[in-house]
Amino acid sequence: MNDTQDDLCVLPETEKLPTDAKALEHDFRRYLIHHLGRFLGCNPHYLYEALSLTVRDRIMTDWRNTWLQHRLPKQRRAYYLSLEFLIGRALGNHLLNMDIEEQSAEAMQKFSLSLEEIQSEEPDAGLGNGGLGRLAACFMDSCATLKLPVLGYGLRYEYGMFRQHIQNGYQVEEPDHWLRDTNPWELERAEYTQRVHFGGHTEHFTNRRGEPRTRWLNTEEVLAIPFDVPVSGYRNGVVNTLRLWKATATDEFNLDEFNAGSYPESVAAKNDAEHITMVLYPNDSSENGKELRLRQQYFLASASLQDIVRQWEMVHGDDYSNFAAQNVFQLNDTHPAIAVAELMRILIDDKHLSWDQAWEITSNTMAYTNHTLLPEALERWSVKLFERLLPRLLEIIFDINAIFLKQVAIHWPGDSDRRRRMSIIEEDHGKSVRMAYLAIVGSFSVNGVAELHSDLLKKGLFRDFYELWPEKFNNKTNGVTPRRWIAHANPEMTALISSKIGDGWISDLSQIEKLKPFAGSANNKLFHAQWQAAKRSNKTRLAELVKKECGVDFAVDSMFDVQVKRTHEYKRQLLNVLHIIHLYNRIRRGDTLDWTNRCVLIGGKAAPGYFMAKRTIKLINNVAEIINCDPEVGDKLKVAFLPNYRVSSMEVIAPATDLSEQISTAGKEASGTGNMKFMMNGALTIGTYDGANIEILDAVGSDNFFLFGLKVDEVEAMRAHYDPESIIAADEDLKAVFHLLESGHFNIEEPGIFDAVIASMKDPHDPWMTVADFRSYIEIQQQAANAYRDQQHWTRMSIMNTAC
Ligand code: 26Q
Q: CA separation (Å) from 53 to 187, 385, 587, 662?
A: 11, 44, 54, 40
- DSSP for 17-65 reads PP-SHHHHHHHHHIIIIIIS---TTS-HHHHHHHHHHHHHHTTHHHHHH
In this structure, are residues 335 and 82 in contact, taking their beta carbons and an 8 Å threshold? yes
- Encode 308-317: b = buried (16+ Cβ within 10 Å), e = exposed: bbebbeeeee
Percentage above 70 pLDDT, the chain: 98
Q: Rounded to an integer, what distance in angstroms lies between the CA atom of residue 462 and that of residue 482? A: 33
Q: Is 184 in contact with 49 (CB distance < 8 Å)?
A: yes
The verdict on the CB of residue 283 being under 6 Å from ligand 1 is yes
Band the pLDDT of 253: cuts 50, 70, 90.
low
Of the residues 197, 571, 638, 796, only one is catalytic, namely: 571
CB 342 within 8 Å of CB 216: no
Q: How far is it, in rounded angstroms, from Cα 322 to Cα 752?
A: 65
Amino acid at 488: H
Rounded-to-integer distance, Cα 476 and Cα 450, Å: 6
SS (H, E, C) 296-313: HHHHHHHHHHHHHHHHHH
Active site residue 571: yes
The number of helix segments (H) and strand segments (E) in the chain equals 34, 25
Ligand 1 pocket, 610 CB below 6 A? no
pLDDT for res 285:
78
pLDDT of residue 10: 82
Tell how strand 77-81 and strand 85-88 pair up: unpaired
pLDDT surpasses 80 at 730:
yes
Q: Is the CB of 670 under 6 A from ligand 1?
A: yes
57: Cβ below 6 Å to ligand 1? no
Q: Which residues pair with 239 in a beta bridge?
A: 232
Ordered by where they begin, the domains of the chain are 1-72+93-123 (no CATH), 73-89+124-475 (3.40.50.2000), 482-803 (3.40.50.2000)
List the beta bridge partners of residue 246: 225
Neighbours of 190 (CB within 10 A): 11
Q: How would DSSP label each residue in 416-441?
A: HHHHHHH-SEE-SSS-EEEHHHHHHH
Beta bridge partners of 77: 327
Query: Can you give the pLDDT at residue 381?
Result: 97
Instruction: Indicate if the pLDDT at residue 770 is higher than 70.
Output: yes
Ligand 1 midpoint to CA 780 (Å): 29
The closest alpha carbon to 161, from 193, 182, 137, 141, belongs to 137
Q: Ligand 1: which of 84, 129, 432, 688 to mutate, judged by most atoms within 8 Å of the beta carbon? A: 129
For 449-467, what is the mean pLDDT?
98
**CA 667 distance to own-chain centroid:** 20
| Closest to 84 measured CA to CA, from 130, 128, 137, 131 | 128
Q: Which atom number of ligand 1 is nearest to the Cα of residue 290?
A: 3
Which of residues 535 and 374 earns the better pLDDT score? 535
Task: Tell me the C-alpha distance between 359 and 353, whole Å.
Answer: 10
Q: How far apart are CA 198 and CA 201, in angstroms?
A: 9
Task: Check: CB of residue 171 under 8 Å from CB of residue 508.
Answer: no
Residue-averaged pLDDT of the chain: 96
> Which residue has its alpha carbon closest to ligand 1 atom 13?
284
Check residue 560 and give its pLDDT.
99
Q: What residues contact 89, with CB distance under 8 A and at least 6 apart?
A: 119, 122, 123, 124, 125, 647, 648
Please report the DSSP string for 660-674 in residue order: EEE-PPTTT-S--SH
CA distance 238 to 135: 20
Q: Looking at residue 257, what is its pLDDT?
A: 65
Question: Which alpha helices (DSSP H) does 21-179 contain, by range?
Answer: 21-29, 44-57, 60-70, 91-98, 101-109, 115-119, 131-145
* Atom in ligand 1 nearest the alpha carbon of residue 129: 9
Q: Is residue 70 annotated as a catalytic residue, yes or no? A: no
State the alpha helices, DSSP H only, in 205-333.
Answer: 255-259, 263-268, 271-275, 291-316, 323-326
Q: How far apart are CA 260 and CA 269, in angstroms?
A: 15
Query: What is the DSSP annotation of 454-515?
Result: HHHHHHTTTHHHHHH-GGGEEE------HIIIIIIT-HHHHHHHHHHH-SGGGT-GGGGGGG
Is 371 a known active-site residue? yes
Query: How far, in Å, from the CA of 375 to the mean position of ligand 1?
Result: 12
pLDDT tens per residue, range 325-337: 999 999 999 999 9
**Which of 803, 185, 705, 238 minimizes the C-alpha distance to 486?**
803
Atom of ligand 1 nearest to the CA of 377: 10
* Active-site entry in 369, 481, 616, 673: 673
Catalytic position from the list 345, 371, 535, 646: 371
Find all residues with CB under 8 Å of 539, minimum gap 6, and list them. 554, 556, 560, 656
| Best CA proximity match to 740, nearest among 612, 571, 594, 622 | 622
Q: Tell me which of 380, 566, 568, 586 is the catalytic residue.
A: 566
pLDDT score of 71: 80
Instruction: Check whether 267 has a pLDDT greater than 80.
Output: no
Q: Average of pLDDT values for 160-181?
A: 97
Q: Name which residue sits closest to atom 25 of ligand 1, judged by CA.
A: 672
User: What gap in Å lies between CA 312 and CA 316, rounded to an integer?
Assistant: 6
Residues in CB range of 497: below 8 A, 6 or more apart = 486, 505, 512, 515, 802
Stretch 91-112: mean pLDDT, rounded?
A: 98
More confident residue, 433 or 377: 433
Q: What is the mean pLDDT of residues 224-231?
A: 98
Tell me the best of 284, 370, 449 to mutate to test the pocket of ligand 1, counting ligand atoms within 8 Å of each CB and taking the most.
Answer: 284
Give the residue-averaged pLDDT of 50-73. Answer: 93
Local structure of 584: helix, strand or coil: helix
pLDDT, tens digit (0-9, with 9 covering 90-100), for 463-499: 999 999 999 999 999 999 999 999 999 999 999 999 9
Checking if the pLDDT of 595 tops 80, the result is yes
Q: In sequence order, what are the residues at sequence separation of 6 or more whose Cβ sits closer than 8 angstroms to the Cβ of residue 529?
A: none
Please tell me if the CB atom of residue 296 comes closer than 6 angstroms to any atom of ligand 1. Answer: no
Residue 12 confidence (pLDDT): 82
Q: How many CB atoms lie within 10 A of CB 410?
A: 8
